[in-house]
Structure 1
Amino acid sequence: MTKRPDKEEPIHCNILVKAPAVASQLLADSSGLPKERIKHAMLKGAVWLKRPGSKERRLRKAKFKLKTDDFIQLFYNADVLSQTPPEPTRIAENEEYSVWFKPPWLLSQGTRYGDHCSLLRLAQKSASDVDFKLIHRLDREASGLMVLAHNRNAAMLLSKLFQEDRIEKRYFAEVNGHPEIPEKGLFLNSEIDGKSASTEILRGYPGKTDGNTILDIRLHTGRLHQIRKHLADFGHPVIGDSKYGERQRGYYELHLCAWKIHFLSPFTQETVTYQAPLEMRPSFLKDTIATT
């Protein structure tokens, strides 16, 4: 039997530049990593630059010339950098924004350790002339629709709609059991991290198995893991959610999908509706709510 090699430990370097230097060479000297690995990490967004008087940003150019008093950081994790992202799909586009379907296991945005597995980065690579802006998030484990703004003004206007609950965000979540949902719907309003949070369950549908229910949910606020936390507190955690429930045998994906976005466009003053294409929806929805 071949012995499995020990897992490579992450490397984190903080460097205050004392004299002008080339970024990749300075990082290689400081970390002990080969320069090719440094270049690879830089391309995937694992290196950060803070220049006096400027905003911190990712640094991707290996030959970038650093100046005295620049502050550069490397967040190197071989496991993260070796990951291959699933591909998102752009389902609608206009001048001010685009709508994307994010598959499960794709990040909304990157982390300190890289952004190559994020929707925002993949969108940027698909159209280098567009300044994509992230205005809301979707859990890495979840799938569904996301809106990306194409410029700063569009981001400001769309963010305002999200903040004022003027964008209708609908989700399907499959849960174990059969929660009782009144005809008028049900609100879950417990605070999350000390902040108000409101999740509206509109109705329930039969799940793929007799013991499950698919809930049609409208999200009124956007707290971290809000739907998952509220449903777990309600006694019906989302299937496949090992963080707030119990991962059930046979379920390996989070059964949560952002299936619909509806709003009055601040750019055209027309009402727009986007739905996740049927063929892209996760397996827990197929053959159950195929016509919605």
Structure 2
Amino acid sequence: MWETYPHSRISCINLNSTPKHVMVEMSEQHRRFKCQQNITHTGQTVIDCLASLTDLSRQQLKQCLQKGAVRLRHGRKVRRVRRATLALQPGQQIELHYDSVILAQATPAIQPVADKVRYTVWDKPAGILAQGTEWGDHCSLLRIAELVTKRPVFLVHRLDKEASGLMIIAHDHHAAGQLSHLFQQREMFKQYRAVLSGQMTANEQHFAEPLDGREANTTIQRCHYDAESNQSHVTVTIGSGRKHQIRRHCAAAGLPLIGDSIYGQPHSGGLQLRATVLHFPCPLTKQQQHFELNDK
């Protein structure tokens, strides 16, 4: 039976006779729901199980699979499943997270800045995630890299969704571990360009305020100040990688980033933060590597 909650767009269906649960949110242009089913017997494929759970067409369900909106749980292990004909096994749980807006988003057509075989370097556009969520992954950099390179992919570090710039994607477990170690040991030099709201009077400022109880170091160097817009153009280097580190340190100093909707004010041009330089001793070749974006 359906249970509808007054004054809400959330509806639930909970059928006691079968181990499935569906939550639905709908508007005229946006449909969003999630459902799950415990698998108790053999002989059912992914597409058949999903078709029994929802009113989506098989073509729509195949799109959900291709775009990473379907996952399988078995104990503590969770993985995306993309093959419609995969046979399900008892003890598994299948999950579908459907969001019509997310699934309708077009995948950005991007290519790596550099291909070092065991890892690639990318210029992540603003607005896309480093990796997918339960609602899909077709617009994430990790999935794009997998499709473009046709190799396994491993996330080494992250950039905020709203930020743009250089990111490294590894293509084997060993490379991923070695490159991740560089970030952990602070052997990866990272530089950013940013635009701040307000006038930075000093040529250089250093922030060492801990974030979330952990050490955090940020250095900002002034490039120029635009008096008409009251904006400071700066370069930023960080000695750690805390969540929203640059954004939080700048906001705390009274110089929030332009377009920072969390710690400052939204802007039509989006968040003005771009990762422009990566420099590091490659642990795989033992050679120095330097990648830089020279766009203005």
Relative to the length of structure 1, the TM-score reads: 0.86
Paired letter, 1:180:
T
Relative to the length of structure 2, the TM-score reads: 0.85
1:155 maps onto 2:172 in alignment: no
Q: How does 1:80-159 map to 2 (within 5 A)?
A: 80-128=102-150, 130-159=151-180
Contact 1:14 1:73 in 2 (8 A): yes
Structure with the greater relative contact order (CA < 8 A, sep ≥ 6): 1 or 2?
1
Q: How does 1:244-255 map to 2 (within 5 A)?
A: 244-248=263-267, 251-255=268-272
Instruction: Describe the SS at the equivalent of 1:88.
Output: coil
Contact 1:88 1:119 in 2 (8 A): no
Residue number in structure 1 paired with 2:90: 68
Question: How many residues are matched?
Answer: 269
Give the RMSD, CA atoms, in angstroms.
1.8
Rate the CA distance shift 1:144–1:152 in 2: closer, same or farther, 3 A.
Answer: same
d(CA) in 1 for partners of 2:165, 2:119: 16
Instruction: Describe the SS at the equivalent of 2:168.
Output: strand
1:31 maps onto 2:54 in alignment: yes
1:69-117: per-residue Cα shift (whole Å, max 9, x none)? 1111111111110011333331111132111111111211111100000
1:45 maps onto 2:74 in alignment: no
Higher mean C-alpha displacement, 94-103 vs 163-172: 94-103
Paired letter, 1:166:
E
Cα offset, 1:210, TM superposition: 5.1
1:32-82: per-residue Cα shift (whole Å, max 9, x none)? 322221111010000011235x83210001111101111111111111100
Instruction: Describe the SS at the equivalent of 2:77.
Output: coil
Relative to its length, the structure with more strand (as a share) is 2
Paired letter, 1:11:
F
Instruction: Describe the SS at the equivalent of 2:166.
Output: strand
Residue number in structure 1 paired with 2:279: 262
Residue number in structure 2 paired with 1:9: 31
Contact 2:107 2:139 in 1 (8 A): yes
Cα offset, 1:273, TM superposition: 0.8
1:116-153: per-residue Cα shift (whole Å, max 9, x none)? 0011101100122x212111111111110001112100
Residue number in structure 2 paired with 1:236: 255
Contact 1:106 1:119 in 2 (8 A): yes
d(CA) in 2 for partners of 1:199, 1:255: 17
Paired letter, 2:276:
W
Q: Which runs of 5+ in 1 are unaligned?
A: 279-285, 287-292
Instruction: Describe the SS at the equivalent of 1:66.
Output: coil
Cα offset, 1:190, TM superposition: 2.2
Instruction: Describe the SS at the equivalent of 1:273.
Output: strand
Residue number in structure 1 paired with 2:293: 276
Instruction: Describe the SS at the equivalent of 1:26.
Output: helix
1:202 maps onto 2:221 in alignment: yes
Residue number in structure 1 paired with 2:81: 59
Runs of at least 4 residues off by over 4 Å? 207-210
Paired letter, 2:210:
E
Identity %: 35
Higher mean C-alpha displacement, 228-237 vs 25-34: 25-34
1:179-236: per-residue Cα shift (whole Å, max 9, x none)? 1335xx3222223233322212134333595521111101221122211111111111
